[in-house]
Amino acid sequence: MNDAALTEVFMNESKEIISNLESDIVTLEENRKDQEIINRIFRYFHTLKGSSGIVGFKTVYEFTHHLESLFDKVRSGDFDVDSDIIDILLESIDWIKSELFTDVDSDESAGKRHELTLRINRYTGKDAADSAKSENFMSEVGAYKGIGSGERFFRINAAFRDNIFFSGIDPLMIIEDLSTLGDVVHNNIQLKRIPDFFVLDPEQCYLTWEIIIRTACDEMKIRDVFLFVIDDNEIDIENVTDRYTDARQKSWGTEKKLGEILIEKGIINDNDLDELINLQGDKHFRLGDIIIQQGLASPRQVDEALQEQEKIKRKIEISTVRVESARLDNLINLLGEIVIGQASLHRLAEGMDEEESFVLNNALYGLDRVTREFQEQIMSIRMVPIGPTFEQFKRFVRDTARATNREIKLKIEGGDTELDKTVIERIGDPLKHMIRNSIDHGIEPADTRAAKGKPAYGTITLKAYHQEGSVYIDVIDDGSGIDAEKVRKKAVALGLLAADAEVSRDRVLSMIFQPGFSTADQVGDLSGRGVGMDVVKTNIEDLRGSVEIKTREGEGTLIRVKLPLTLAIIEGMLVSLGETILIVPLLSVIETIQVKQQDYRTVEGRGEVILVRGEYISLIRLDRLFGIEANCKEPWEGLIVIVESEGERLGIMIDDLIGQQQIVIKSIDTFITSSRSISGATILGDGKVALIIDIHGLVQEIKKY
């Protein structure tokens, strides 16, 4: 991996870590003694520090080291989390974010870092003088006496390469990290390696530490500290617990495994092992030592077996693999090609005689099944839980609530609900705006709430769930609700609604999604500028989703977003109009009917309509809309596909129904069509391109006329 690729991986990982940190810190503010969160925050800082060092973000590396030290003390119970620590943490996160992801003013940034470091040091330095770890290093004898169950001793020899100072990694910080894992009982810096002061090259590293640490951690944890330097520096880690403990404390169970490993490797056999165990008798000698003494294996072979034993103990389980999202997109594209190929084969089969067609169709049946399963698997890889997206709003709600002098709790439900990664990536901004609206326009100040008999703190709930092949996200607040009459007046004033228009309450409420609409009496810092909810709606519609609003005055508001599970593949209905094949997303299709001539009429103000079971439905002629030559000129000559969007039904005139199949959506550039009625295209089995109708866009487009 080259430096740029490494930095990119680091940036992506950092974003994730920072988002998790923000969420955890806000949660910690409410549950200040939650050890699990405290440990997790410590680990996040530790990871961030390590990886920032390796990619050369030295200031971030150094700064996160302070944060890690702070949290080490918190998790050790040296002091409790207070609101000042929460502020320091969140401000520190902001500093890291700006340092990593924005062009920062270096002086300003350094100033802030200094200020934060001093604030952190006030905590970490508070009890430093009394800390056993800081100054009062225990003697080896003292450590030996003090050993408890589960504690180990490790000897670490760390000789750092001479040019390490230029790699962004500070050896001293690594040694400090190590010291946080336990008690340093012996610290020896080999001064012999350091040249005479007057001929010293101060930019070269001559430092070698020999450290013995008493710790409850296992070797892996010790190795983790050196993770980023172990390959190109001389780092030797040895478990020397035996030398500090009574031989009788040793575990026989693991020693036996050593014998088993050597048998598996063919170095010794069962009989040898029996004899060796006899030799051990009750003297508790180490099996490895006896094997070497007996000349059954070389020290190197025993060493290797011991290493393997350690690996077994670690039980390393690789349960996840991080994959570049572009690779998943490629997989989807390739799958699309397979689907197209299959469609070609089906088409071929249609042209064959019955016997040949039977054989091919039979073979294709099996292929179809596997392809569908393959597709489900790939799609499942693309599905990611919405939880982390929700979690990132914790910080936002906290800060926004503070800025508006409100008390607000964010409740998250259904965080494990999965959505296509593309949808997840694009839903954040609309959700943020909806939450901002809830805070700015919905949740009342504490005193107002108290006067209404509500709890002083408002609650915003983010709730996700699957229903009928779609994903729903509800943004619910228990605020003041929306005054429909006020919305109506505003809509009339803006000319969006006629003063005497008889429209439903839902329709009135939907006005808030109109461009330029705001009922805020004053333009606030957050919202009320009249931009936002229309953008929210457009963004959601771009995701082939929809948004609706429900409100009860005085009780609260619910904004419900409906989204497709995936954007990559849909079930589509293939229909023909003359020589053109179009695709109607099956999710929008209610039914396909034939109408009688007497059920067709023209209504003033609505245009052409058809009567379906007592209900008049607007008729859409796609041939006229898209300029296509259709075979059927009148509604009763062909078929009508009844579709639904946002509760509105439309009848689309088609010549014929071809069938239904899975459609791999290919995006099309706006220079090909800017029509909102087209959401994309697909390639059919015969290689022809078919356009996919965007039902929602179609409804919007029709309304314009």
Partner 1 sequence: MKLEGDVSIKKVKQVYSVLKDELKSSKDVVIDMSGVVSIDAAIAQVLLSATIKAKEMGKELRLDGIPAGLNNTLALAGLVANTVQGGHE
Strands (E), 160-207: 182-189
| Residue with smaller CB distance to partner 1, 179 or 682 | 179
| Residue with smaller CB distance to partner 1, 165 or 374 | 165
**Least distance (Å) from partner 1 to the CB of residue 171?**
4
**Least distance (Å) from partner 1 to the CB of residue 53?**
11
| Residue with smaller CB distance to partner 1, 88 or 464 | 88
Helix (H, G, I), strand (E, B) or coil at 250: coil
- What tokens were used for 156? 């670490």
**Least distance (Å) from partner 1 to the CB of residue 267?**
36
Question: What is the sign of the dihedral through the CA atoms of 372, 373, 374 and 380?
Answer: positive
Three-state DSSP string of 629-679:
CCCCCCCCCCEEEEEEECCEEEEEEECEEEEEEEEECECCCCCCCCCCCEE
- 645 CB-near residues (< 8 Å, 6+ apart): 546, 588, 695, 696, 698, 699
| Residue with smaller CB distance to partner 1, 191 or 499 | 191
**Least distance (Å) from partner 1 to the CB of residue 52?**
15
**Least distance (Å) from partner 1 to the CB of residue 89?**
17
Give the count of alpha carbons within 13 A of 126, CB side only.
Answer: 12
| Residue with smaller CB distance to partner 1, 122 or 256 | 122
Question: Rounded to whole angstroms, how far apart are CA atoms 678 and 657?
Answer: 19
- What tokens were used for 636? 């009763």
- What tokens were used for 700? 């919007």
Strands (E), 478-606: 546-552, 556-564, 569-577, 580-585, 589-593, 600-603
333 phi, psi to nearest 5 deg: -60, -45
Nearest to 183 by CA among 240, 133, 231, 236: 133
| Residue with smaller CB distance to partner 1, 125 or 554 | 125
| Residue with smaller CB distance to partner 1, 168 or 638 | 168
Nearest to 474 by CA among 463, 483, 482, 484: 463
| Residue with smaller CB distance to partner 1, 197 or 705 | 197
**Least distance (Å) from partner 1 to the CB of residue 165?**
5
Helix (H, G, I), strand (E, B) or coil at 199: helix
**Least distance (Å) from partner 1 to the CB of residue 116?**
10
Question: Rounded to whole angstroms, how far apart are CA atoms 453 and 601?
Answer: 55
Local structure of residue 441 (DSSP, 8 states):
I
| Residue with smaller CB distance to partner 1, 213 or 497 | 213
- What tokens were used for 27? 């949660």
**Least distance (Å) from partner 1 to the CB of residue 47?**
20
Helix (H, G, I), strand (E, B) or coil at 265: coil
| Residue with smaller CB distance to partner 1, 189 or 590 | 189
| Residue with smaller CB distance to partner 1, 202 or 281 | 202
**Least distance (Å) from partner 1 to the CB of residue 37?**
24
Q: List residues near partner 1 by CB under 8 A.
A: 58, 62, 66, 113-114, 117-118, 121-122, 124-126, 128-129, 131, 133-135, 137, 160, 165-166, 170-173, 175-176, 179, 184, 186-192, 194-198, 200, 202-203, 205-207, 210
689 bridge partner residues:
683
**Least distance (Å) from partner 1 to the CB of residue 161?**
12
- What tokens were used for 692? 């996919």
| Residue with smaller CB distance to partner 1, 134 or 254 | 134
Q: Please report where in the chains the tokens 């809509």 appear, as a residue.
A: 491
504 phi, psi to nearest 5 deg: -70, 165
DSSP string for residues in 89-124: HHHHHHHHHHHHHS---HHHHHHHHHHHHHHHHHHH
| Residue with smaller CB distance to partner 1, 23 or 167 | 167
Nearest to 170 by CA among 261, 83, 251, 63: 63
Question: Rounded to whole angstroms, how far apart are CA atoms 215 and 298?
Answer: 30
**Least distance (Å) from partner 1 to the CB of residue 215?**
15
Helix (H, G, I), strand (E, B) or coil at 549: strand
Question: Rounded to whole angstroms, how far apart are CA atoms 621 and 610?
Answer: 12
**Least distance (Å) from partner 1 to the CB of residue 212?**
11
